[in-house]
Amino acid sequence: MERLGYQRQYKIQGKVNSVAAQEKCVMKLLIYHICVNLPLMIVSYPVFKYMGFTSQLPLPSWNVVCFQILSYFILEDFIFYWGHRILHTKWLYKHVHSVHHEYATPFGLTSEYAHPAEILFLGFATVFGPAITGPHLLTLWIWMSLRVIETVEAHCGYDFPWSLSRYLPIYGGADFHDYHHRLLYTKSGNYSSTFTYMDWIFGTDKGYRKLKALKAAEHQYEYVEEKVPKAD
């Protein structure tokens, strides 16, 4: 989509990353997945096993799967919010989190483009829920798939008519997180990963909500101008 300009009318920002910038992201992600994520998965396996992780039959009921995954989303969002806010303190931003913010115009793959220390730090939020509950492998696969889809969508840079944020008010989505990437680290806000209520509770989304209100008022004004006939 980035290369071909597909669905450009839904792109949040006008800027498009260069081919070199996209290739840089892809190459670093390959290195991170092999040198950071893979060893982390191997090391964490005994912990999951100790907590009751299994791949044996019978499969868990869908009630159990859905309850665990919803719990994981809530836990992950809470931990991620505070971890992300900490990463926006001056020293940590400069030495760690600024890597992720190299892309002020994010695209899907930049969701995992980050300093290795940040991958470990914020990755803890993703694995914490499964680590303390020892889920079935099926549940873990579904959770990880949904989490990756969510973070890629949040970084995709497109606000589609079918985006979940248009139908679920507490879901952040691409428009919510794109705002975070556009602003300076001290003023960005919108620190949550999936939902928006943590930012609302602690007032770290005020700038975003103000901007949305101004845009809505502007669109309303344009609509009225089109409908009201001009005097001769």
Does residue 7 sit within a domain?
A: no
Does residue 1 sit within a domain?
A: no
Q: Which residue range is the domain that position 138 belongs to?
A: 12-227
Q: 103-124: per-residue pLDDT in tens?
A: 999 999 999 999 999 998 988 9
Q: Choose among 77, 200, 88, 205: nearest CA to 147.
A: 77
Does residue 223 sit within a domain?
A: yes
Determine the angle formed by the axes of helices 62-87 and 116-133, rounding to 10 degrees. 150
Question: Higher confidence at residue 188 or residue 106?
Answer: 106
Cβ-Cβ contacts under 8 Å for 55 (sequence gap 6 or more)? 136, 137
Domain count within the chain = 1
Does residue 232 sit within a domain?
A: no
Does residue 40 sit within a domain?
A: yes
Does residue 20 sit within a domain?
A: yes
Q: 210-222: per-residue pLDDT in tens?
A: 988 887 777 655 5
Does residue 120 sit within a domain?
A: yes
Does residue 34 sit within a domain?
A: yes
Question: Higher confidence at residue 89 or residue 8?
Answer: 89
Instruction: State residue 198 phi and psi, 5-degree precision.
Output: -65, -45
